Chain A
Amino acid sequence: MAADFTMPSLGADMDAGTLVEWLVHEGDVVHRGDPMAVVDTDKSAIEVESFDDGVVQTLLVEPGARVAVGTPMARLGPAEAPAPVAPAPVAPAEVPAAPAAEAEAPAPVAAAAGPAPAVQPATEPVTTPRRRAARPPARPRAHPASPPVRHHAAELGVDLTSVDGTGAGGRVTRADVDRAAAARHRPPAAARRVSPYARRLAEELGVDVDQVVGTGPGGAVRADDVQAAAVPAARREAPEVAPAEPAPAAPTPPAPARAAGSRDAIAALMGRAKREIPHYYVATTVDLGPLTDWLRRTNRERPVAERLVPAAALLRATALAARAVPELNGFWVDGRFVPGEDVHLGVAVSVRGGPLVAPAIHGAADLDLPTTMQRLRDLVARARAGRLRRAEMAEPTLTVTDLGDQGVEEVIGVIYPPQVALVGVGRVVERPWAVDGMLGVRPVVRLTLSGDHRATDGSTGARFLATIDRLLQHPEEL
């Protein structure tokens, strides 16, 4: 049922009033009792409340206009959704994918449809309540709010002291409460609702659930939210009915659909790396004779399940080098280098028929070689089975990509932001090699380091590779 909001008679002697200010915008959901407008009756400015529930369709009168009692001032339409559960006028698609986008977003929230600038109070742009509402600490003073709005806030669990009012005198309107409820990005971890499937999906896609904006009831994070967070924001322009994309229907192996999503994630990350990071590269060839000899000896004494492969020794040496050259172990954040607190060595693993993932071996510098080997086997097996744990997807401090098994001799890799270096390992090959003036055939491997030139210089990278080389010449000490 459509209804008009008319100039009320606010006294027996009143025949006309002046609209001072609208307290609602076109598109706002209003309920009976919500303040709609401020009207000057010649005696005083009075806040006028709505007599109906509905959606503000059209504001018919400009502030400053004087109109007769009974004149329609706004047209109300029926609220679209009969379900009382859906209070937020915020369409999910408008919620930015990541908090980072928040500051830039013009946040047209409810006023999207209307000529909003005409009716906004000049000093209080619509964007502010949204941004402020996201600010976590509570404010000591409560803003004035009508009882229906208080009730509404209580129902949604919104703390009124943390809501900035857009109504007259800082009064909190129903729409403010709805916005605050919708913008609660990060309730305390315990109170955060994440569907079991969304949690699982987030782990699989390497998405930090705490960073995902939930669009479900009560801000619950659901699978769509996780998927939206996993792909770059640009993809979100797609219409909500996208049959192919959000359907990892097959539960077991990494389905093509998911692979496609990961492809997008990789595309975004690597694009960013090449745009932002001025890479430098250093490389060296390392004699693996001592290592392979030593491995052959030690493996002869080991049960098959405990044999060591060169890749594990290379990881072990890399972890030790990262500790010795800490300038390469950490992150570039906000224009400066932040060292990693420990060495979490990312291992780039290609999943058969699926995406590339780079889970981390945590505390890698403190693990001996057999343990490193175990962790590597375990990590690769679980990565391929899609069973990585969330913590393993959390920021590695340095990543190693070993393509030796793919047959290439050298990898010159792209750094994973926000890390500042990437180690590339090629194939172990036999080459003529001169030692002490004698030519022999030795197994050698090509190691490269891609470094972020903002954080370090080539000499740091050189020192790092030299450290690895030195460590590999004494494999028994690894």
Chain B
Amino acid sequence: MKREGIAGALLMLLFLAALVNIACLDRLISRIEAEVDRAQALAEHGEFSAAEDALDAAIVHWIAANSYTHIFIRHPEIDSTSDAFYECKQLLAEENADGFPSAFEKLNYHLNSIDEMEHIRLGSVL
């Protein structure tokens, strides 16, 4: 039964690692979303330069997590999110008041999608 014990322990370990991964991803996305929300709020008040700085901070965190995200998240998802970040940044730099809300919406959608992808829900399992 030694082999079975090791296999059972390995399964438990994998499950725990999956839970830890969800927690890590949650923390990363929450942190980035907070910075993105702050950037959006600043942009809504017309403070485009401060909004760009806040978004840069979010981008720095996103890029810093590159090695983690590339191991656990599908690469097309990472690319779409990065594109959404730079689209927001460009609109903020242009001080485009009409364009940035939809760009932020798109960015939030991608971030939520990455976060929810790993969550254990009936919908995501089935």
Report if A and B associate in a common complex.
Answer: no
